[in-house]
């Protein structure tokens, strides 16, 4: 039987957030620390010029139609499929859908695969 999200989270070894930030080429000065494992990233880190081919944004959403979603393929909870279509997106019923820089998932039950794909995108952007 597959592990639950809670079992996976409880088995994880937490790394200091400054180490995670360093993996993304961020310094401690780019963060507001809230203990060893939580931080907010200053928005001014986005002001620097990105490396060639680096996306300027990564959108993670479960439902909200956005202008960046127009023409994209997305997923959401089934009862909101019409919202996606009204936002000019193509709805598909899959646990996670990636279209360019847009990552969508149906519900919190899909958080594990959603975050797996999101982390892959972050790593490829650094």
pLDDT tens digit sequence for 38-48: 888 888 887 76
- The whole model's pTM is what? 0.48
Confidence of residue 29 (pLDDT cuts 50, 70, 90): very high
Q: Report strand pairing: 102-105 vs 96-99.
A: antiparallel
Q: State the DSSP code for 51.
A: P
CATH of domain 53-126: 3.40.50.880
d(CA 117, CA 103): 8
pLDDT tens digit sequence for 55-111: 665 555 544 556 666 888 988 888 888 888 888 889 999 999 988 878 888 888 888
User: Which comes out higher in pLDDT, residue 56 or 124?
Assistant: 124
d(CA 102, CA 122): 12
**Is the Cβ–Cβ distance between 97 and 104 less than 8 Å?**
yes
Q: Report strand pairing: 73-74 vs 90-91.
A: parallel
CATH 3.40.50.880 domain range(s) in the chain? 53-126
């Amino acid at each position: 039987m597959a592990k639950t999200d809670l079992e996976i989270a409880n088995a994880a070894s937490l790394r200091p957030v400054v180490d995670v930030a360093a993996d993304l080429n961020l310094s401690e000065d780019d963060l507001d620390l809230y203990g060893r494992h939580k931080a907010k990233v200053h928005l001014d880190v986005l002001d620097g010029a990105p490396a060639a081919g680096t996306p300027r944004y990564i959108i993670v959403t479960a439902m909200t139609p956005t202008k960046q979603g127009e023409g994209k393929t997305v997923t959401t909870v089934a009862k909101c499929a019409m919202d996606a279509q009204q936002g000019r997106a193509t709805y598909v019923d899959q646990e996670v859908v990636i279209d360019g820089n847009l990552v969508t998932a149906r519900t919190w039950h899909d958080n594990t695969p959603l975050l797996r794909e999101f982390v892959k995108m972050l790593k490829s952007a650094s």
